[in-house]
Amino acid sequence: MATSTEQLATLDQAKEMGLQEAEFNDIIKVLGRTPNFTEMCIYSVMWSEHCSYKNSINLLKTLPKDGPHMLVKAGEENAGLVDIGEGLGCAFKIESHNHPSAIEPYQGAATGVGGINRDIFTMGARPIAQLNSLRFGKLDDDKTKWLLEGVVKGIGDYGNAFGVPVVAGEVFFDETYQVNPLVNAMSVGIVKTKNVISAKAKGPGNAVYIVGSATGKDGIQGASFASKDISADSADDLPSVQVGDPFQEKLLLEASMELAETDAVVGMQDMGAAGITCSTSEMSAGGGVGMDIQLDKVPLRQADMKPFEILMSESQERMLVVVQKGKEQIVEDIFEKWDLHAVQIGVVTEGPMLRIYMHGEKVVEVPADSLVLGGGAPVYTRESKEPAYYAEGQKFTLDQIAEPSDLVVVARQLLANPNICSKRWVWEQYDTMVGTNNMSTNKPADAAIVNIKGSNKALAMTVDCNARYVYNDPEKGTEIAVAEAARNIVCAGGEPSAVTNCLNFGNPYNPEVYWQFEGAIKGMGKACEALKTPVTGGNVSFYNQTAGEDGGALPVFPTPTIGMIGILAHQNLQATLDFKYKGDLIFLLGTARNDVNSSEYLHSIHGILNSPAPYFDMKEELTLQGCVKELIKNNLVNAIHDVSDGGLYITLCEMGMPRGLGFDIVTDSEIREDAFLFGESQSRIVVSVTEDYEDEFIDTVVEHGVEITLLGHVTRGKLVVDEKHFGFIDDAKAIYDNVIGEAMAHKSE
């Protein structure tokens, strides 16, 4: 036994902690005995969905992991890493903090930002940009407004104080997220490839340090909390929400950057989910070693903490560092300089055992590998069943809806739609310029462009997912999410490089949810293979659903958020979406279709949710992207913007708003006008071209085999469609800019 005084765990305790009877029996087999209570706590968090990915790892292994720029593959380290040349790498990752944000939006979102940034700088990379993808219930609901206000303030306060700009993101509203919002945070950093720090422990005899903040009782059982449904009692789990300190994290970042310049560090990992438990077991298993850990040496905020509380606390701004034997003083001096704890709490041992002591008494003795993903953690493939709504939705056709008599009214309604309008109220609360790397502030584009200091290159980055598409067709909808992310990067002048993902789904034990998950993974794999954008890692977030009073559950839309990085070979390739000059010609690249499937127009104007996903063909997408790259390289377009949410009309308005320019266009007589203006069929891009370059532009497009349509020309500010006056761009902008701000100004006290 691990100890003579620790009480043995029981099956009932195991079940209360979320383990199944078979899993409890497996633990007994691994240990050759019944675990004690503390050991049972360790297995319960490490074998939770949040840490073990036990219901997803089999499918995740099918995603492509190899690519021309890869330095670190998925699962190997704290984050993905791609080579951007000149001795530099780009580390990036996206993760969720959904459940904490649902019950305490400010700290839930803030600590999500803190955690994802630590994943980046524990690799030796300095974070240079943040992105986020946020999903909430209906905007006119007071609870939604409370959640939105708290989440945005949490992200802004933490990120602004930490000193990394928010450069891009998305916000989506739908009643499916009413109780269970999604808060996905992405961080991007730059590292000298020679300074990359591993997350693996090595070298028996090397010291194990805990650095950063003291350990408290906040966040205990946070990983288990993230692995269950939100219910009416979830507020009782409030202690599971961590409390962040961005100023402490800033000190930790600078100390880590200084540490990366030395040869003292062997490995380093953030203490995120499951705290000391996760970092010690994963670092040990990753390096094929063991550890002896002395819990009584851990700096504590409270004096009465029990072993299991210290092990599972998710207090923020802490990391585990393995230090080269004999170089401990280097590490201690660095952290003392930055006024941070750096305390040796253990030593690396010959594998495979993780032994944990409290005041000299052994309280845990388990094989490290038995705890972790890819080791002894359980792996399952769940039952899958196609939901009835899918087949029903495939029956929808355009002739089932009547074309509205006044499309001018529809156009204004879409401009005022919360999912289409400007998210200015959100991003104005973020510091987008701190660090002076952001190249997109005054140059609007389909992706954010971030300067790489000391280089002529730049990074393009985006987050994308239309969850309604994925709901209506998980495979095709996820293909579209990947393709749109790549299209956005290409339209901004970049070359798509690699993907990180945040996979937000309901309960995997629900066969219909698992069917959605299977389809999404299949679609992501196909798209990433075709676009040569390998998956570097990310996050799976199951149990995003609300437990109903009748015992049923309402899952959120399946939301596989795609974070993508691209590289601009030279900063002068940066392309923007804003019309530049009155009189420029406006062209549509790609094919317009009689297709309103899964569009915001179909849902918000006609009230129809279930329909097929919009038209998409990967061959057309690849051809289009190849064409756009050459157009930008040869400087043949003045403005470029892809057609997405809201369709062609919204795309044109967004191109006109930055400089107050309008458009005069003609629709296609063979396509219904509502479908032409508001449909969301994929692989379409709008460009403006100076007449002097028209011939060369057309020749290039024709050579690539892309369909091209002359829509019309840029005007001084009037909006005209088929000779009908749709208003003025300034009026459209006034509607578009103020929707969320006005809604938030009218919330109940």
- B/e letters for 625-654, b = 16+ CB within 10 Å, e = fewer, are bebbbebbeeebbbbbbbbbbbbbbbbbbb
In terms of DSSP bridges, do strands 207-212 and 318-323 run parallel, antiparallel, or are they unpaired?
A: antiparallel
Phi/psi of residue 48, nearest 5 degrees: -70, 160
Cite the active site residues.
50, 97
DSSP-assigned states of every residue in 553-580: EEEPPPEEEEEEEEEESSGGG----S--
Q: Which amino acid is at 678?
A: F
Q: Which residues are 355's β-sheet partners?
A: 292, 365
Q: How far is CA 313 from CA 223, 272, 540, in A?
A: 10, 9, 21
Q: How far is CA 498 from CA 129, 185, 307, 343, in A?
A: 16, 17, 41, 37
Q: What gap in Å lies between CA 652 and CA 665, rounded to an integer? A: 10
Q: What gap in Å lies between CA 338 and CA 531, rounded to an integer? A: 44
Q: What is the CA radius of gyration of the chain?
A: 26
Q: How far is CA 427 from CA 155, 245, 417, 642, in A?
A: 10, 21, 17, 21
Answer for the pair 205, 347: CB distance below 8 angstroms, yes or no: yes
Answer for the pair 636, 585: CB distance below 8 angstroms, yes or no: no
Q: Which residues are 460's β-sheet partners?
A: 449, 566
Q: What gap in Å lies between CA 665 and CA 579, rounded to an integer? A: 14
- B/e letters for 604-619, b = 16+ CB within 10 Å, e = fewer, are bbbebbbbbbbbbebe
Q: What is the DSSP letter of 217?
A: S
Phi/psi of residue 215, nearest 5 degrees: -100, 130
Two tokens at 588?
A: 């549509």
Q: Is 84 helix (H, G, I), strand (E, B) or coil?
A: strand
Cα 69 from chain centroid (whole Å): 20
